[in-house]
Amino acid sequence: MPVYLDHAATTPVLPEAIEAYTRALREVGNPSSIHTAGQAAKRMLEDARERVAGAVGCESIEVVFTSGGTEAINAGVKGLYWAGARQGATRILVPEGEHHATLDTVEWLEASESATVEWLPLDEQGFVRLDALEDALQRDPASIALLTFLWANNEVGTVQPAERMIALAASAGVPVHVDAVSAFGHLPLDFAGMRARSGSKGDSGLVALSVSAHKVGGPVGAGALVLSRSATIVPLIHGGGQQRQVRSGTQDVAAAAAFAVAAAAAEDGRLEETKRLAALRDRLVAGVLRLVPDAVLSGPDVSAGIADDGTGVRLASNAHFTFPGCEGDSLLFLLDAAGVEVSTGSACQAGIPEPSHVLRAMGRSEEEARGALRITLGRTSSDADVDAFLAALPDAYAQASRAGLAARESALGAR
């Protein structure tokens, strides 16, 4: 069996989530129907909504089920922008290095909906420059439709100081959407607590947060936009208005039920699992740096460790390196041939021959960014998996280095 170390792309579905999904599929009934079968489906759906709400720390009515993280992000960002634009607020504050679900959304709003996108710089570890954020918020805050940011970077694992960023926006009266897709299951999600601690009130501060089921052992094609009761938003999808007039469409009861099981399981075991994964990651990082001294760890140093509540400056499950003189794709294919599955970055960009925009935003050169490799751990990861990766790496690195050298010499000869 291959060694799977790409849990940031997707993680195996939990057996109990599969059981919940198949059990719900056996039931007949549209949850919007008022007959007996419809009301049975509705009870199942609302039970799932309550369980997801418990996992993210919000009221059940604030959970809007979606087809996944990408739809949740689109609904949150576009909906808040359109609501703000009606009041003359057309600026969007967004850090560089975001997931493409956000990047492509704000760029579309800029090209098609008269938005002004203001990019916030990152430092060399991937943290948002808070001085730049403060400066942007102080310049005519009434013109800002929203701040949106990725809580935990999906490529390099950097964890942003979310509550500090939300508090700055709240004090300026600016609404915030948080992409928590990569953070879910790894960091403590407490929507109501974060709102209270950051001074969020009404339409200012934290009003929306996006999560996805398949990152925590649920099915692909399920997610949620957590939307504050007080939020003013324009819907992305119109129709029957089934979910607070925010998202229309017949709701997928089976997906919601499976999502709920996975979400509850992820939160119940989060602290213990975070510490276990951090220990595995630290051993993996030490092994890579011992075997390939030229490798460079991207993002914050792992020496910062993990706090008692499971928080840290980088995800416990993430190890991201650049290998000078190598193409990340070459390393990926060579490791795959050796039975070890990793990635070069976001699965949404896999196969696209572009250097990582995240690394470029962190100040890395294009050549450095092309040598990226992301190793991400999950529930099924073990010491044996780390050993297999470390055993396969030296030969893969040697072959990729030779291929890189040959390519550079060929390019020089062609000039």
Task: List, by residue number, the catalytic residues.
Answer: 348
Burial track 211-241 (b if 16+ CB lie within 10 A, e otherwise)? bbbbbbbbbeebbbbbbbeebbbbbbbeeee
Secondary structure (H, E, C), the chain: CCEECECCCCCCCCHHHHHHHHHHHCCCCCCCCCCHHHHHHHHHHHHHHHHHHHHHCCCHHHEEEECCHHHHHHHHHHHHHHHHHCCCCCEEEEECCCCHHHHHHHHHHHHHCCCEEEEECECCCCCECHHHHHHHHHCCHHHEEEEEEECECCCCCEECCHHHHHHHHHHCCCEEEEECCCCECCECCCHHHHHHHCCCECCEEEEEEEEEHHHCCCCCCCEEEEECCCCCCCCCECCCCCECCCECCCCCHHHHHHHHHHHHHHHHCHHHHHHHHHHHHHHHHHHHHHHCCCCEECCCCHHHCCCCCCCCCECCCEEEEECCCCCHHHHHHHHHHCCEECECCCHHHCCCCCCCHHHHHCCCCHHHHHCEEEEECCCCCCHHHHHHHHHHHHHHHHHHHHHHHHHHHHHHHCC
